[in-house]
Amino acid sequence: MKKTFLYIIWALALVVMASGCEGTPADDNGGSTGGETPSEYWWHFSVKNADAAQALGVFVRDFDGGITNGEFHLDATTGASFEIKTDFPLTTGGKIYAYAPYNADSKDHKAIKMSIPEEQTAGEAVMPRASVPLVLADPKPDSTITIQMLDLASTISLKVYSTKDTGEKITSVSFTSETPLAGAFSFNIKGIDANQESTLAIGGYEAKTVKVSTDISVGTDADAAQAIPVVVAPGSYTGIITVVTDKDQYGIVVEDPIVLARAAVVPLIVRIAPRISQDEGGSTEDFTGGELVTE
């Protein structure tokens, strides 16, 4: 009888110990339903100068934990917000670095792998961006943390129109420069100082031609022409603009340098000269041309 009683006491002790080891579940907001330290946290971010089509790469450096090159997508509704779930609290002094578009091969926020694509498509997001490094000050899960993204490249806003209404469709435009203006490069987000433009400079790219595919019509005049964005590295460029249509190809020599500061959008207008046929009393050229228009 005494032995049976001891077995009962031992079994009850195991039940009590087991129930004491159960964790306290977290609610949907990362809080604890039992008043204990939550096991997960949700952090809300607002992003300025972002493109919803580009996934963000995010690095979190905090005292209690971190994230290395996490991939996050902007909310489809707002286009300017996202959330991060962590199993550690963010603390004062923690740092957050973000860039776009996300690259799975970027393992170090001091050497982000980025590029200005040599082959672009009008309307698609290709601008490389990086955030101003964010130092956290008393972060709370229920508050919103703002991230400021900065453009690292520049944009030529190219308009093409014709001296004749030929009904041509543009299939691509290219800019070939005498110096590199696109390609792959590495970038140090940690080194950014928003007050020092030199810390936002990029280099190491090697491509001298950027081609943008499109399917818009040649404009009947400069006002009617649709702009084609051509993303290139900041710099000063001369070279050749090539416009390819469904009927012909046009080459325009750029003799005076096109100067592009970081994040600048520089408008450029091209007037193409259609091929002159024998029926019109002129000679037929193998490669027709055009000119830059200053308005």
Evaluate whether 201 touches 154 at the Cβ level (below 8 Å).
no
Residue 291 vs residue 216, higher pLDDT? 216
pLDDT in tens, 128-160: 999 999 999 999 988 899 999 999 999 999 999
Chain centre distance of CA 235: 20
- Is the full-model pTM beyond 0.85? no
Q: Specify the range with the lowest mean pLDDT, choosing from 31-45, 78-92, 108-122, 194-208.
A: 31-45
Question: Residue 186: what pLDDT?
Answer: 98
How far is residue 82's CA from residue 125's CA, in Å, rounded to a whole number? 18
Torsion 100-29-96-110 (CA) sign:
negative
The confidence band for 294, taking pLDDT boundaries of 50, 70 and 90, is: low
CB atoms under 10 Å from CB of 62, counted, come to: 19
Question: Residue 38: what pLDDT?
Answer: 74
Question: Residue 274: what pLDDT?
Answer: 66
pLDDT in tens, 37-68: 678 999 999 999 999 999 999 999 998 899 99
pLDDT in tens, 216-229: 999 999 999 999 99
What is the percentage of the chain residues whose pLDDT exceeds 90? 72
Question: Residue 76: what pLDDT?
Answer: 78
Question: Residue 276: what pLDDT?
Answer: 54
Residues 6+ apart with CB under 8 A from 206: 180, 183
Asked if residue 21 has pLDDT above 90, the reply is no
pLDDT in tens, 228-242: 999 999 999 999 999
Asked if residue 2 has pLDDT above 60, the reply is no
18-31 burial, b for 16+ CB within 10 Å, e for fewer? Answer: eeeeeeeebeeebe
Asked if residue 211 has pLDDT above 50, the reply is yes
73-to-52, 83, 133, 196, 294 alpha-carbon distances in Å: 7, 9, 19, 29, 41
The confidence band for 166, taking pLDDT boundaries of 50, 70 and 90, is: confident
Measure the CA angle with vertex 127, ends 124 and 131; round to 5°: 135
Evaluate whether 237 touches 219 at the Cβ level (below 8 Å).
no
Asked if residue 93 has pLDDT above 90, the reply is yes
How far is residue 123's CA from residue 171's CA, in Å, rounded to a whole number? 14
Question: Residue 275: what pLDDT?
Answer: 60
Asked if residue 27 has pLDDT above 60, the reply is no
Question: Residue 143: what pLDDT?
Answer: 86
Residue 64 vs residue 29, higher pLDDT? 64
For residue 56, give the nearest of 121, 110, 129 by alpha carbon.
129
Question: Residue 291: what pLDDT?
Answer: 81
What is the percentage of the chain residues whose pLDDT exceeds 70? 82
Asked if residue 35 has pLDDT above 60, the reply is no
Return the SS3 of 17. helix
